[in-house]
Chain A
Amino acid sequence: MEFLTDIVLLTDSTLRIAAPLILAALAGLCAERAGIVDIGLEGKMLGAAFAAASAAAITASAWAGLAAGILFSVALALLHGYVSINQRGNQIVSGMAINIMVAGLAPLLAIAWFSRGGQTPFLDSSMRFTEITLPFADVLQDVPFLGAIYSDLISGHNLLTYVAFAAVPVVAWVLYKTRFGLRLRAVGENPEAVDTAGISVTLLRYQAMIIAGILCGISGSALSTALGAGFIRDMSAGKGFLALAAMIFGKWKPVPTLLACLLFAFVDALQGRLQGVSLPLIGEIPVQFTIMLPYVLTVIILAGFVGKMEAPKASGIPYEKDR
């Protein structure tokens, strides 16, 4: 029985940890499928987290926070787009610049506005996306097994976690079943062909950046207004890079990316659970070792199990019309 509870708790924790990763990984996926390498996910997430927490604190509304987070993230995405589409700059450098800029700018603005050492005020429950209990969750609680899964696992997450999981089929549908998605994928593989067909490469890539900005904005807002309650400097703590790794591990496809995010989140949840636990034969595992687990797993998976990586062919290459 304790084993079952542990599994439910671990899975529950996995879903929560995975949500911001999934959104950010999908953002990276949309950008890269259109031919723009987006290493600035981390910065956009952090920026959105800051904007969302600030707006939510000032207006006392989580929705205003979400809107501000998305706006700020889209603005950063457009900046990245301007550098890499119009100016044909190096996309890695531009992405890193966004990461570093936000890491400094967000605490600076927070100090200037709130005088709290780079933090925003603590958000009340009414200014956050709190946990939602799905209908019938209380009634079905007592149904064996399925009741536990529905009431404990599926119900009781915040809205943005549901949005994250809903975003996967939506992105997959847009990419593979719509005309826009076909063009988006084409512009990342062969922009010359798209241009020859009379479709604007620039416009498509900007549209992709805006989608990436929106998804990343939701991801960042989830950090500060749903999972957390306020902005703290560097609170994204490498999640943007982890999302990037998950996207590559997922071979630039929505569903495998989702699975990769879930795997990373599961290992992260597991390492927290394993701390201080004595295993038979081995004894207590040192904290340093359990904390290392997610990264060791990343290296092993990327080095051995993924197989051939097929990045979008035009990814990272600025499109020049007259070449």
Chain B
Amino acid sequence: MKFSFFRMLAFAALVILPASFASAQNFRPVLLYDIGGKFDKSFNEAAFRGAEQFARETGIEFRDFEPNSETQYEQALKRFARRRADLIVAVGVGYSVAVRNVAEQFPNVKFTVIDAVIDLPNVQSVTFKENEGSFLVGMIAGLASESGKIGFIGGMDIPLIRRFQVGYEQGANYVRGDLEFIENYVGTTPSAWNDPIKAAEMAKSQYARGVDIIFSAAGPSGLGVINAAKDNGALAIGVDSNQNHVQPGFVLTSMLKRVDLAVQQAMLSAHGGTWAPGHQVLGLPEGGVDYAMDEHNAALISEEMRTQIEAARAKIVSGEIVVADVDGGNDGH
């Protein structure tokens, strides 16, 4: 009995060891998505595209994991850390507590967390200046609005989303002084991200009150806003990924958050040996946020508008315009 057990062990060692020797020479990055799945047409998909871009450039395979609930965050992080992944990229503010716990236990593993800020020697935190991107789409809304009333629909009422709203209103006021704003938040719990019916109802109410453009920073709930825009023959502004294609002609533009860029850069720098812990903020100067232009909204945004927007972009980059922010935008919740 004992003999066969050792034989099994020896056999297992024979199988496993060469494999681990072989991969020890390789760089092994891991990508952990937020809840919502890899192909969510938004945040996670952007992260996936970034990792895929890295894989294409370097020929290095990456591994990824889609959690189904918050409880899996820490399990997944630990599992990959124990297998000595070289870099673990975790996407989403929800990971803040889990990454802090696991990074303390595995000081030799590198972690990059996106949208959260963690102060540990082996953690790199990447956040975005959503307010700067929102400033630009706010300008577009201000320039394109005919009724002089524009709307904002946020998902869960947290500082991160308030940051979108602050930038949006500042940008709109920058181009036009007489604008009226109507804002709504879908809710105060995480279920607010997944309530397109309520978001659509709020959008319908805003359109009926004279709003002609609504910027939604509400995750999947925002699809309800885009749909309401189509039903009312009005305009919506998408968020995170380029959502112009969702209802072509009814999405004025999208506020892009270049999660793909952040993931790709983290993996490339870790592979090249230039990875450094600390806090990176990606704003307009770094190309971390932007507005989306493609064939679906080319007819909606004139050349003249673009000139004004690009002029404002240059002023933000040079520091001439300071976009306001809110406190605690990337704290865990």
Contact = CB atoms under 8 A, between A and B. Distances in A.
B241 to A, nearest CB: 12
Q: What's the interface size class on A, roughly?
A: 35 or more
Contacts of B157: 287-288, 291
A237 B40 contact: no
A17 B201 contact: yes
A178 interface: no
Nearest to A158: B231
Given A275-B184, A291-B185, A13 B201 contact: yes
A278 interface: no
B151 to A, nearest CB: 10
A169 interface: no
A210 interface: no
Given A234-B194, A275-B183, A291 B201 contact: no
B281 interface: no
A276 B195 CA distance: 20
A131 B231 contact: yes
Interface stretch (A30-38, A198-206, A225-233): A225-233
B42 to A, nearest CB: 8
A319 to B, nearest CB: 37
Which of A131, A229, A233, A287 is packed against the most chain B CB atoms within 10 Å?
A229
Given A119-B40, A233-B194, A288-B157, A227 B185 contact: no
Interface stretch (B73-81, B204-212, B316-324): B204-212
A16 interface: yes
A116 B39 contact: yes
Contacts, number: 99
B205 A237 contact: no
Nearest to A110: B37
Nearest to B204: A13
B278 interface: no
A163 interface: no
B45 interface: yes
Interface string A271-315: 011011000000000011001000000000000000000000000
Interface of B: 36-41, 44-45, 68, 157, 181-185, 187-188, 191, 194-198, 200-202, 204-205, 208-209, 220-221, 223-224, 227, 230-231, 246-247
Interface of A: 9, 12-13, 16-17, 104, 107, 111, 115-119, 122, 125, 130-131, 223, 227-230, 232-235, 237-238, 268-269, 272-273, 275-276, 287-288, 291
Closest 3 CB pairs of A and B: A117-B37, A117-B40, A237-B195
